[in-house]
Structure 1
Amino acid sequence: MNALAIIGGSGLTRLPGFQITGESSADTPYGPASTPVVKGLMSGRELLFLARHGDPHRIPPHRVNYRANLWALKQAGADAVLAVNAVGGIHPAMGVGHFCVPHQLVDYTWGRSSTFFEDDLQQVTHIDFTHPYDEGLRQRVIGVLARLGMAHSAYGVYGATQGPRLETAAEISLLERDGCDIVGMTGMPEAALARELDLAYASLSLVVNPAAGKGQGLITMEAIEQVMQQGMAQARTVISQLVAAGA
């Protein structure tokens, strides 16, 4: 893939080692993107970058303009998108600091602008969303994680919740019964919008906390930030290797 774009989530608002060559406007027909799309080189290869929550981190998950973000990346020349997500671990295998490259997702969000196909249509459009993540890009990411020896799961079901609050223990029990392995707040409608724009899309999800009721005591932002600091440094290494390999 020639034009890979990275959507940086919580803890990943910038990419060290990224040689910036320019940026595209944040303006789109759907309003402003979270940030301008930054263009540059990494390992001598073209890369695009957008911080999902803004830079600095200021936009909560339910207020992210997902349509503008994906549109801006497409207009900047992206044909593939790797989203980096901070998530909670539900399945016992999804411990803190573990990476998951999900293969499926369940959408529990509501009220978000979730499609480009709603106004002034010539005909109604329904995308096939049977497999929400691009398998080719998923396998490239999994291959990098394996080569680096990082703890990871090659499969997982991402449960996308509304936020910005964290979930209750009962809600996590419901998600677990529904088959979710990890929980996050930004997986949708991002994945569906990428499909509508014909962008290959995959997620590199970092488990930053046990989901509600799955750990000891309360979930604190201090504990999450400690995990995020180390984990996102590893995520940057994965991205660098992925780009160097020509993915």
Structure 2
Amino acid sequence: MGVIAVIGGTGVYDPSMFENIEAKTMSTPYGDIAYTQGSYKGKQVVFLARHGMKHSIPPHLINYRANIWGLKKLGVTMIISTTAVGSLNQDFGPGHFVLVDQFLDFTKSRVSTFFDGHGKKVVHLGVGNPYSPALRTVIEEAAKKLDITLHNGGTYVCTEGPRFETPAEIKMFKMLGADTVGMTNVPEVVLAGEAEIAYATISMVTNYAAGISPTELTHQEVLDIMAEMSNNFKALILETIERLDPDQDLPCHHRLAEYGGFKAALGKEGDLL
């Protein structure tokens, strides 16, 4: 049976929305991860706090490879990722949810692939649809039922962090077509693609970005808005899980078919999965 994973971003740390939860750890070739295993409406669920349960890991130091590897080993077939973002699009206001369908990568120091040599194949991942259209459709339907304002489609620009962006950078990103800005979706979405896991991100707009907002942003403001919207976030996640079929076969589950699949492309390291 397939497993659904929720990766909690800023403000989403509490796995108690699920049933029969149990805190666990796992060793991976890239380091250890901590996660919570549980269930919801008869479906197996794994919750992983991206920044740690106490928000102790900054975005540029998150062990993205260990996280995605661990979820793959746990049998995860679908990932619902959550992020807090700033908006560059006047139609995406604070408190709105966005399902991005494209990204711009402005990170600088992150390893964005499992295929870094050492006996593995050279793999070139296609990212025409980095965010699963099927998962986004289900999330959109869940939001409509709950009467939650959600936009299906948009471009996420990922910056290195942990600092916020300058107004000049935001102006540039807007010229390039970005709708939202955050610090964590890359390389997470890329690694999920390599691991042949269906992946979608529910982004919650906490503010307008620098130069668009009339005031300077603080991290506490982001946390405050996330806290205000946490009930909607949890309701949307649970309604989505109820609607998902983790055993559904999707195109993204075969993204490395030309290489024999994820495990085969890893070579000897694939035996650890």
Q: TM-score, normalised by structure 2?
A: 0.86
Cα separation, 2, equivalents of 1:14 and 1:106? 29
Deviation of the 1:233 alpha carbon: 2.2
Please give the secondary structure, in 2, of the residue aligned with 1:191.
helix
Question: Deviation of residue 24 (structure 1)?
Answer: 4.2
1:32 aligns with 2:32: yes
CA contact (8 A) 2:82 2:202 kept: yes
The secondary structure found in structure 2 opposite 1:25 is strand
Kept after mapping to 2: 8 A contact 1:15/1:236: no
3-state secondary structure, aligned to 1:224? helix
Which residue is 1:67 aligned to? 65
Return 5+ residue gaps in structure 1 as ranges: none
Instruction: Tell me what 1:42 maps to.
Output: 40
**Secondary structure of 1:70's aligned partner:** helix
What do you get for the CA RMSD once the two structures are aligned?
1.4
Q: Describe the superposition over 1:90-142 as per-residue Cα deviations: whole angstroms up to 9, x where unpaired.
A: 10011111100001111100111111001223531111111111111111111
What is the aligned counterpart of 2:186 among 178, 185, 188? Answer: 188
- Distance in 1, Cα, partners of 2:24 & 2:114: 21
Amino acid at match of 2:124: H
1:152 deviation in Å? 1.2
Partner residue, 1:216: 214
The C-alpha deviation readout for 1:7-31, integer Å capped at 9, x for no partner, is 0000011133312343442321011
User: Partner of 2:256 in structure 1?
Assistant: none
Match of 2:141 in 1: 143
What is the distance in 1 between the residues matched to 2:77 and 2:192? 10
Structure 1 or 2, whichever has the larger Rg, is 2
C-alpha deviation, 1:44, in angstroms: 2.9
Where does residue 6 of structure 1 map in the other structure? Answer: 6
User: Once the two structures are superposed, what CA deviation does each residue of 1:37-69 show, in whole Å capped at 9, x if it has no partner?
Assistant: 211112332111100000111000000000000
**What residue in structure 2 maps to residue 128 of structure 1?**
126
- In 2: Cα distance, 1:163 partner to 1:156 partner: 21
Q: Aligned equivalents of 1:120 and 1:222: distance in 2?
A: 43
Q: Indicate yes or no: 2:87 matched with 1:89.
A: yes
Shift of residue 172, structure 1, vs aligned partner:
0.3
Distance 2:53 2:113 in 1: 25
Report the AA paired with residue 16 of structure 1: S
Larger CA deviation: 149-158 vs 38-47? 38-47
CA distance in 2, matches of 1:31, 1:2: 24
Q: How many positions carry a matched residue from both structures?
A: 245
In structure 2, C-alpha distance between the alignment counterparts of 1:73 and 1:236, rounded to whole Å: 21
Structure 1 residues 116 and 122, CA gap change in structure 2 (3 angstroms): closer
Secondary structure of 2:108 counterpart: coil
Structure 1 stretches of 4+ with a deviation exceeding 4 A read none
**How far apart are the structure 2 equivalents of 1:123 and 1:115?**
12
Distance 1:189 1:147 in 2: 31
Question: 1:145-184 to 2 correspondence within 5 Å?
Answer: 145-184=143-182
Kept in 1, the 8 Å contact 2:3–2:74? The answer is: no
Verify the 8 A CA contact 1:5 1:80 in the aligned structure 2: yes
Q: Percent identity?
A: 36
Counterpart in 1 of 2:205?
207
TM-score (norm 1): 0.95
Q: What amino acid is the match of 1:19?
A: E
Residue 101 (structure 1) aligns with: 99
- Structure-1 separation of matches of 2:21 and 2:215: 46
> d(CA) in 2 for partners of 1:187 and 1:143?
23
AA at the equivalent of 1:100: V
Distance 1:97 1:175 in 2: 21
Counterpart-to-counterpart distance in 1, 2:120 and 2:2: 32
State the Cα deviation string for residues 158-185 of structure 1 (Å, max 9, x = none).
Answer: 0011000000000000110110000000
Matched, 1:235 2:230: no
User: Where does the alignment leave 5 or more consecutive residues of structure 2 unmatched?
Assistant: 246-273
